[in-house]
Chain A
Amino acid sequence: MLDRDSAAFIQTGVAISLAACGADRMPNNARALGCKLVDGQQRVAIFMRLSQTHALVANIRENGLVAAVFSLPSSNRTLQLKGSDAQVVDFDHADLMLIERHTEAFLREVLPEGISELAVRTIHDWSPDDMLTVVFTPSAAFSQTPGPRAGQPLGSRP
């Protein structure tokens, strides 16, 4: 589902966040700390903090519906992936180095914007026992880069 370009893009210094929604129709969202591709590049695994995602996790366990947004600050390029088979799985501690690498890449993106490094590191702070992973198969992808084509399915023609 995910083309090679998008697969590479979501693993650069993008801001990552995830949303879900329960039967009460009240959406929940939270920031993520990085991602990787699993299951032969077919599924996306997103790293989240448990303490920030209790309601989000409950929503995912309820219906598996998620929306993930990846946005590169320097270019405003933004991609939204949707999935309907999301699962919450244990965090693999081998992925901590991916989180660290992602934080450094993200810092290179936002420091030129004048945001303080300390603030960014604090926002991206984590502890190993507070982590979980959300895995889903992208069923739809949308470009959300601001402009006339924002919101269109990826690969669609104008």
Chain B
Amino acid sequence: MSLSIDSIRECLDGVIPGLIATCDADGVPNMAYLSQVQFVDREHVALSYQFFNKTRQNVLVNPTVRLLLTSHLTACQYRLSLRYLRTETAGPLFEQMKAKLAGIASHTGMSGVFKLLGSDVYRILAIEQVPGRTLPRATPAVNYLTALRRCSIRLGGCEHLESLLDTAGDCLGSEFGIQHLMLLMYDEAGQRLYTLASRGYPDSGIGSEIPVGAGVIGVCARERTPIRIGYTTAEYAYGRAIRDSAAASGLAASLETAIALPGLPEAASQLAVPITAFGRLLGVLYVESSADLHFGYDDEDALVAFAAQLGMAIDHHRQVAETAEEAAAAEPGSAKPAGKTLGVRHFAANDSIFLDDDYLIKGVAGAILWTLVTDYAERGRTAFSNKELRVDPRIRLPGASDNLEARLVLLRRRLDERGAGISLAKTGRGRFVLRVEQPLQLIAG
């Protein structure tokens, strides 16, 4: 069986740099180190184009090149015969390589020197293993196929979005050994992502936001493609990326900044995978580690498959919650709560809510809570359905495709974290009740 690029992808991440040999019109050879080789598919790889150097000049006159790759795991060397096809200067492939190069540049002290000008796409003509002694390949710590099988069964058994999110976090921890992760939902109209679940951080950061295009997560969302970095890089660090991107896009005023994005202070390895369903972006799954080169191509493949299943399930639960016609839950007894009054203050400009003087949430989730407590205060109402909330003009959902169920999960989790005596309890598909433990005083700020 001939060698396939699929089976030697550990050579591509630059642990041992590749060597590209070219020759000019007169047949004079030239050789250079390559920062990065990107797997495209079984027949193509892309090489980073950073400088207009002799390699570049030669490739343009003689597109056939030889690439020498070395596995840091098995010590195997491979000689690839390639033919240059084209250069891409924007889009998913370019962004994948740009992010990865930023990590490599930072790791090798070349920040500010390495800059991706283009992704040169080559057709693989042949792969030959160079004769020589090699090391046996270590058994991988995770059998991805078995892990995915178990995850699929567990995700498929979830009854609603909230249990799906919990199960997804459990699966990534127990099946893939991932300790630090975030799950963010896409707000298309707001061109941002909001954190709906996280694992492995002192503060959950639920409700925190990232503009589309900011950092690994934002670029993943913008390009609808996995973004993976193996080394710490300031260029994709979140604090800076969010500030720069929010300022550039004019989002700075409306972006949620009171809730800090969770995350490792010095993440070395980062991987963001888009969550999609039927061609639509729903969110991003983000995992990270403080170890260098923690996630490889196999991890990326496994999480892309996992995210595909997660996306279908999220979409299913959204539809079910919004179309459910189950009988309304009986309104609980209207016994008025006693005790100290809790002030609920609402600022209409950005739908921000403060409980007493403590900030809770703003935006869509803030508008939902204000609607619920207003109905409760005015009519003693406690039972609600997703279906009616979706069309309630007071909530102003940003778009027909916006996931109301996800907004409710966000609100529920923020309320639970706050422990302020207001909670939302599911009573059936697409139905829930508002529980209030203290008298409320509504204040329109």
Q: Which residues of A contact B (CB under 8 A)?
A: 17-23, 25-31, 49, 51-52, 59, 63, 65-69, 71, 76, 78, 80, 82, 84, 114-116, 118-120, 122-123, 125, 142, 144, 146-147, 150-151
Q: Which residues of B contact A (CB under 8 A)?
A: 15-16, 19, 21-23, 27-33, 50-51, 53-54, 62, 64-66, 68, 70-75, 77, 79, 81, 108-110, 113-114, 130-135, 292
Give 29 A-B contacts (CB < 8 Å), ordered by A residue.
Answer: A17-B31, A17-B68, A19-B21, A21-B28, A25-B27, A26-B66, A27-B21, A27-B29, A27-B31, A27-B66, A28-B21, A31-B70, A51-B131, A52-B130, A52-B131, A59-B29, A65-B28, A69-B32, A71-B33, A76-B108, A80-B32, A116-B72, A119-B135, A120-B75, A123-B70, A125-B133, A146-B110, A146-B113, A151-B51
B65 surroundings in chain A (CB, below 8 A): 27
Please indicate the chain B residues that have their CB under 8 angstroms from the CB of A116 in the complex.
72
Please, how many angstroms separate the alpha-carbon atoms of A116 and B75 in the complex?
Answer: 10
- Which residue of chain A has its CB nearest to the CB of B53? A151
Task: Please report whether the interface of chain B is mostly helix, strand, loop or mixed according to DSSP.
Answer: loop
A contact residues around B74 at 8 Å (CB): 119
Please state if A31 and B64 are interface contacts (CB–CB under 8 Å): no
Are B29's CB and A21's CB within 8 A?
Answer: yes
Q: Report, nearest first, the 9 A-B pairs whose CB atoms are least far apart.
A: A122-B75, A27-B21, A21-B23, A19-B21, A29-B21, A19-B31, A21-B29, A19-B29, A151-B53
Identify which of B29, B108, B135, B292 contacts A67 (C-beta below 8 A): B29
- List of B residues within 8 angstroms of A26 by Cβ: 64, 66, 81
Q: How far is the CB of B235 from chain A (nearest CB, A)?
A: 17
Q: A27-B66, A29-B66, A116-B72 are in contact. Are A65 and B132 (CB under 8 A)?
A: no
Cα(A78)–Cα(B54), bound, Å: 14
Q: A30-B130, A115-B72, A146-B113 are in contact. Are A122 and B135 (CB under 8 A)?
A: yes
Q: Which residues in A have their C-beta under 8 angstroms from that of B292?
A: 114
Most buried by B among A82, A118, A119: A119
Max chain B CB contacts within 10 Å: which of A19, A28, A52, A114? A19
Within the assembled complex, what's the spacing in Å between the Cα atoms of A67 and B54?
Answer: 12
The chain A residue with its CB closest to the CB of B63 is A25
- Given contacts A25-B23, A31-B68, A67-B28, 14 further A-B pairs with CB under 8 A are A21-B21, A21-B27, A22-B27, A25-B62, A27-B66, A29-B79, A52-B130, A65-B27, A68-B31, A78-B33, A114-B292, A142-B54, A144-B32, A147-B113
